[in-house]
Amino acid sequence: MNPAQMPPRIVEALIRREKLAMVGRLLKGVVHNISGAVQMVRLPLDLLELKLASVTTSQVADKLTAAQQGLNRLTDEVSMLSAKAAIQAQPTPDPVDLCALLRDQLRFWRADPYFKHQVKLTLDLSDNLPFLRVDPSDLALAFNALVANAVEALNAAQRGQLSARAWRLDGELLVEVVDDGPGPSPTMAAGLFEPFNTDKGWPHDGLGLFLARQALAPWRGDVRWSAQRPNAFLLVLPLAKA
């Protein structure tokens, strides 16, 4: 299907659906971490309750310290959820710190068990890039689509190298996501940004790259790919003119 033939209202509905689906995918790892943090709190408190009558003051302190560590982990995970909710609910775009947003999204990916244990991540994110005027949820959707695409390729190829880089070139900010997988097949490459283009089977619907490009279109952004570097994808984000 030619993307230009899809009615704009359908594209907008698909983008909203994809944002919710991506949040659900990323929250699975966060929920896993929250469960672990709750256990970190519960276990020492349960032991303390059982032995409170016979333990020494130092032993009580040790148990409370362990519980405090669990609470700190739980607080960190809840803060991540709050940040994600703020991105999704923002009604009008404020200037966005690109690298801060990318780091926040990658924190969610690090909660994913496969990403956490199998993917070696290399980051090259400058702290001196100008802010962007863009809806952060659109930018997050596009970036997460590229990361998800890379992680799925790594999983299929049983490899684990992933890098993300952001830099400025003239009047644009560029974000490159590269994995050490084989890249798309020739059949996939022929219609890479067309909707429903996939060779992965269920539950993949072939909308990720298409919607990534569509989400950035209102902000004059783009997602690019070249056969010369088949395992690299590039987000192109124009800076507002002064």
Task: Please count the residues of the chain.
Answer: 242
Domain ranges of the chain: 95-238
The tokens for 120 are 């070696």
- Give the pLDDT score at 238: 93
- Residue 54's alpha-carbon distances to 41, 62, 182, 226, 228, in angstroms, are 21, 14, 61, 69, 70
CA 114, CA 48: separation in Å to the nearest integer?
34
Q: Which parts of the chain sit beneath pLDDT 70?
A: 1-5, 24-93, 201-203, 241-242
Cis peptide before 203 (omega within 30 of 0): yes
Q: What share of the chain is helix, strand, coil (3-state, %, to 5)?
A: 55, 15, 25
What pLDDT score was predicted for residue 241? 66
Buried b / exposed e along 90-112 (16+ C-beta atoms within 10 A): eeeeeebbbbebbebbbbbbebb
Per-residue pLDDT, 232: 94
H or E element at residue 44: helix 8-51
* Buried-state track 31-55, b at ≥16 Cβ within 10 A, e below 16: eebbeebeebbeebeebbeeeeeee
The predicted pLDDT at position 221 comes to 96
What pLDDT digit, counting tens, does each position of 48-75 carry?
A: 655 655 655 566 666 566 666 666 665 6
What local confidence, expressed as pLDDT, does residue 19 receive? 79
Record: fold of 95-238: Heat Shock Protein 90 (3.30.565)
Q: Where are the beta strands (DSSP E) in 152-221?
A: 161-169, 172-179
Residue 59, pLDDT score: 63
In 3-state terms, what secondary structure has residue 96? strand
